[in-house]
Amino acid sequence: FSWETVLKEKPGMIHLLDFPYNGETPRKELIEGKLTDNLFHFVRNHGGVPDIDEDAFELEIGGLVNKPVKLSMKDLKDASKFPQAEVTVTLQCSGTRRIEQIQEYPGDGDELINAPWGEGAIGTAVYRGVPLKKVLKIACGGLLPEGQHLEFVGADTYFKKGNVFNYAVSVPWRKVRANEEVLLAWEMNGKPLPKIHGFPLRAVVTGYIGARSAKWLYRINAIAEPSLAPVQAQEYLYYTQQASGTMGKQNVKFSNGFSIQNMPVSSAVIFPTDKQTVIHDGKVKLQGWAYSGGGNWVERVEVSNDGGHVWYSVPPENMTEKHYHAWRLWTIELPVDAEGWLEFCVRSWDSSNNTEPTFVRSAWNWDLHVTSSCHRIKVYSVN
């Protein structure tokens, strides 16, 4: 899978890395509608894109379950065996808006780990599949009492410090047990899951960072403790600036970081863009997205034309509807009469009354994850 192939199939994608291919949704397509066109959904890969024959494919489920099984795609899609579900889900990479943290202070990773994503490592789709909870119950007779986490293993391989690993992560059984919307999915917006998004089968873990939604999923292990695979145990950790004192990240132990699961509430202005000249006629139209993880929906979005002193609420009728697992797109005519450089910013609140840190440095962390601070852009305003 080369960048050239992707360019042909996904014209206009914002290019991050050739190999492994990583691409960001173009701005216009990002806020085109509540559902992101599959063609333009962002892509985050750690390794190559596996070629999987759906007819020969089997999902193996084992570890601390009552009955280990192998299921073909035909078994999984047999609605008389497993009830199917469709869920609208925003997937957000924990690297979204990382570029702002990089600009504040550089981190300490390579370009794969610290890919400089902007505002487009997020997208929304309707996924169809089977609730993982039901598959574990119906096919495996449930978990053994020690089975407290579910490890997802992807068929893609990935290099780290001279070793080759399969992409593997885990989620707590509690999350799956409490949430029938955690899916094993084979369809995205009514179409077969595209190859680059995990064909033939992926996990879709609502409310969590994108990393837990393993693509090319071929093995699920019920385990007692969170997975020790490097993606789970060594990446997607949140190290506060204080964790390293003045010594730099090289002195930090993995155990000093905490594992990031739920996404916090965050938002972004997509139009206008940073450093753009805007012509105002007493107002300027702003457009963007707002999303919160953990099953929280976005309650309110506010924008400011003066760097965050005076705020204007986006009228609810100018937002797409509330949703437990999906973003809200918003539009507002922001009053503007000044000429010259202005700082526009956005902040939002979710249904648990969480809001966003004021400045990027308030939530800076060594691996540059979950940039949730108030998104700020500078525009040159003329009349």
Q: Give contact residues for Mo ion (rule: CB under 5 A).
A: 44, 93, 210-211
Task: Write out the two tokens for 218.
Answer: 């071929």
Residue 79 or 164 with smaller CB distance to ligand MTE: 164
Among 98, 149, 197, 347, binds ligand MTE (CB under 6 A): 197
Among 132, 135, 211, 326, binds ligand MTE (CB under 6 A): 211
Site residues (CB under 6 A) for ligand MTE, limited to 115-174: 154, 156, 167
Sequence-distant (6+) residues with CB within 8 A of 99 are 116, 117, 118
60 beta partners: 70, 219
Contact 117, 43 (CB under 8 A): no
Task: Map residues 46-75 to x or -, x wherever contact with ligand MTE holds by CB under 6 A.
Answer: x-----------------------------
Q: Which does 156 bind (CB under 5 to 8 A by kind): Mo ion, ligand MTE, none?
A: ligand MTE
Closest CB 302 distance from ligand MTE, rounded Å = 27
Q: Is 41 in the site for ligand MTE (CB under 6 A)?
A: yes
Closest CB 62 distance from ligand MTE, rounded Å = 18
Q: Which does 216 bind (CB under 5 to 8 A by kind): Mo ion, ligand MTE, none?
A: ligand MTE
Closest CB 169 distance from ligand MTE, rounded Å = 8
Q: Is 16 in the site for ligand MTE (CB under 6 A)?
A: no
Q: Is 24 in the site for ligand MTE (CB under 6 A)?
A: no
Residue 38 or 296 with smaller CB distance to ligand MTE: 38
Q: Which does 214 bind (CB under 5 to 8 A by kind): Mo ion, ligand MTE, none?
A: ligand MTE
Q: Is 42 in the site for ligand MTE (CB under 6 A)?
A: yes
- With CB under 6 A as the contact rule, which of the stretches 1-9, 32-40, 134-142, 209-217 interacts with ligand MTE? 209-217
Residue 44 or 219 with smaller CB distance to Mo ion: 44
Please name the residue that has the structure tokens 């902040």: 347
Residue 154 or 308 with smaller CB distance to ligand MTE: 154
Name the nearest CA neighbour of 36 among 59, 3, 10.
Answer: 10
Among 91, 185, 270, 374, binds ligand MTE (CB under 6 A): 91
* Interface residue list for ligand MTE (CB under 6 A): 41-46, 91, 93, 154, 156, 167, 197, 210-211, 213-216
